[in-house]
Amino acid sequence: MRSAIIGLLAALLLSACSESAESGDERHNTAVNSVESEEPAEADYFEAQIISYENGVLTYETDRQHSAEMDPRSFENDSFTAGTKQLSQLIISRFQPNVTGRIRLDVNGTRVISCDVITPNGEYYNNSMLSDNYTGSIEDSEGTMKRINGCIYEISTGSNKITADLNDLESLYKYDFPDRLDRIVFEGYKAKNGGFIIQSLSVFSGIDEMGSYIYDPLTNDDKYSFFGKVKSLKDGLAEIILTDEKTVCLLPEYYTDGDLSENMSVMVTLNAGPELYGSGGKYEDSFAVFHTDPERFNRSKKDISELAYARYKNEYSAELIYFSKK
């Protein structure tokens, strides 16, 4: 398991910038500066209400509604990860209809070259900011979390509390968390309206030889992911039939990277081992992570219907090993 010493996380988020990496797996969370372009005058900055950002088009409203093309790397104060929804997009979709954006256009006024929705609407937030006792040592701001319902948890440090939806975590970090977990640290984004988007969560794992506290993110990279189709959706549960066409799974649908619909092809990460495939039985569990675009993970060049399951090559690799139907 990868270990991480958690420092002042907000500063780290705002300063990190590396090369973009194309990958179907979320562990490659690389940051990219805003797209380079001709610098307009400072007067070209303006504020507007953000309506949506879809298919590379930003829609915003000033005196009237406008739409203009925008590269996702042009979101300021954000990281860009190919194939995943970044923080700015979550803010726009989550906190509608009152999202303010600080925008600038190119010299022709036809393309958005910069849009900041993070700073006008809130701030990066972590356990040290929730704690009353933080003195600079990370152990002073460790928190506790307990389940409210499904993937909704209450995180607290002392008497201070914040509610987090753990489905906001990247898919790799959607873990089979217990009902209660102590000695955690976290980072995320807190909106001015009180809403919160959690971006990372780590648990105390020990002290190194220098006396520094170590916190590990919990991951599901040791689990198998199965291919199948959504058979039905009811009361928060998804019924999935695997590609063996005889094994059925009844699973909670709260961990998902998109909207589920009947007859949709999915890849779903489970606690089950490979013996599940072909068993012809009915599998039920309280943990499942749905991937609604399984083709994004499919490097096997085979049709999804011909795949049985997959798993990571090892805990340090983003490579999936695929197992075909027998």
Output the domain CATH number for residue 45.
2.40.50
Residues 6+ apart with CB under 8 A from 195: 94, 95, 122
Same-domain status, 152 and 211: yes
Same-domain status, 186 and 284: no
- 115 falls in which pLDDT band (50, 70, 90)? very high
**How many domains does one find in the chain?**
3
Same-domain status, 207 and 264: no
Average pLDDT, integer, range 41-60:
86
CB of 255 closer than 8 Å to CB of 174: yes
pLDDT at residue 277, as a whole number: 95
Residue 4 lies in a domain: no
Q: How far apart are CA 12 and CA 191, in angstroms?
A: 19
Q: How far apart are CA 72 and CA 47, in angstroms?
A: 18
pLDDT at residue 169, as a whole number: 94
Same-domain status, 198 and 250: no
**Which amino acid type is present at position 287?**
F
Of the residues 151, 184, 217, the one at which a domain ends: 217
Cα dihedral across residues 28, 29, 30, 35: positive or negative:
positive
Q: How far apart are CA 177 and CA 4, in angstroms?
A: 19
Domain that holds residue 101: 9-120
Helix (H) or strand (E) holding 15: helix 9-15
Q: Residue 268 pLDDT > 50, yes or no?
A: yes
**Segment 200-254, tens digit of pLDDT:** 999 999 999 998 999 999 999 999 999 999 999 999 999 999 999 999 999 999 9
Same-domain status, 199 and 238: no
Burial level of 265, CB count in 10 A (0-12/13-18/19+)? middle
Same-domain status, 208 and 236: no
Residue 3 lies in a domain: no
* Greatest Cα-to-Cα distance within the chain, rounded to the nearest angstrom: 65
Q: Enter the tokens of residue 76.
A: 């300021």
Helix (H) or strand (E) holding 90: helix 87-94
Q: How far apart are CA 290 and CA 259, in angstroms?
A: 10
Residue 1 lies in a domain: no
Q: How far apart are CA 30 and CA 20, in angstroms?
A: 5
- 317 falls in which pLDDT band (50, 70, 90)? low
Q: How far apart are CA 68 and CA 134, in angstroms?
A: 44
Nearest residue to 104 (alpha-carbon basis) of 68, 128, 153, 80: 68
